[in-house]
Amino acid sequence: MIATVTGTLSEKSPEQIVIQTDGGVGYAIQVPLGVFERLPSVGGGTTLFTELVVREDGWLLFGFDQPLERTVFQRLLGASGFGPKLALALLSALGPDRTVRSIKEKDLAALSTVSGIGRKKAERLVLELHDRFPDVVLDSGPARPRGGADAVRALEGLGYQAAVAEDAVRLVLEEHPGLETALLVRLALQHLAGTKGGRR
C-alpha cells in the first residue's frame, strides 16, 4: 500500500496533480478541492497521505493533506454504491468535518447538495455510516446558535456551495454571536459579496 507520497509538485490541476519524488517516480494523484487549494505552487514540496483504490479498469491514487480526511474518505468507501469519485465529490463540497457532522446528525439536506447524491443516496449513507465515526474528532469551531444551520441552508438555496456558506456563517457568528437567522443571512451575504466567490 502507498501510504504517503513526498516530493515536488510538478503538475497541478483540479482534475489531477503529479508529485515527483526524489527517486524519480511521478505519482498522479486526485485530491479534494480543499486540498488542491492548500497545495503549494508548482515546484513546491509537499507530502500527501494517500489511498490506493484498485479497480478492474486501473489503479487510482487519492491524496489528502491531513490523516482525518483520508480516514473519512476510507469510511465513505464502505457505504454501498459509494465509489471514490462520489466520496471525493462529497469531501470537495463539504470538507471532512462537515461531511462527518452531516452524517452523524443525519443532515440529509446538506448531503443532498452534493452533485451525484440525491435524497435516497443520502439516506442510505446516513443509515450505513452514522455510527462509524466514533474515533473521529471534529473541529467544533465556535459555538453556533440554532439559527446557524438554517442560515447555511438559506445560502445554499441561493446557489452558494455548502462549504462556502458554512464558512461565511461561521465568520459572522464569530463577530456577532446569537444573531437571528434573517440578520445572519444578510450579513453573511455581505461578506460573500466582498469575497466575490462561492456560487455554484
Domains of the chain in start order, with CATH, are: 4-64 (2.40.50.140), 68-129 (1.10.150.20), 147-195 (1.10.8.10)
pLDDT band at 196 (very low <50, low <70, confident <90, very high): low
Query: Do residues 89 and 116 make contact, with C-beta atoms less than 8 angstroms apart?
Result: yes
pLDDT number for residue 144:
43
CA dist 90 to 31, 55, 120, 163, Å?
12, 20, 15, 10
pLDDT number for residue 143:
44
Mean predicted confidence (pLDDT) in 113-138: 90
Mean predicted confidence (pLDDT) in 115-132: 92
Mean predicted confidence (pLDDT) in 104-133: 90
Residue pLDDT, tens place only, 128-165: 999 999 888 776 554 444 457 788 888 888 988 877 88
Which region holds residue 81: left if phi is over 0, alpha if psi is between -120 and 50, else beta?
left
Scanning the structure block, which residue is given the C-alpha cell 435516497? 120
pTM metric for this prediction:
0.71
- On average, the pLDDT of the chain sits at 88
pLDDT number for residue 194:
80
- The residue ranking higher by pLDDT, 194 or 39, is 39
Supply 134's cell numbers: 466514533
pLDDT number for residue 139:
64
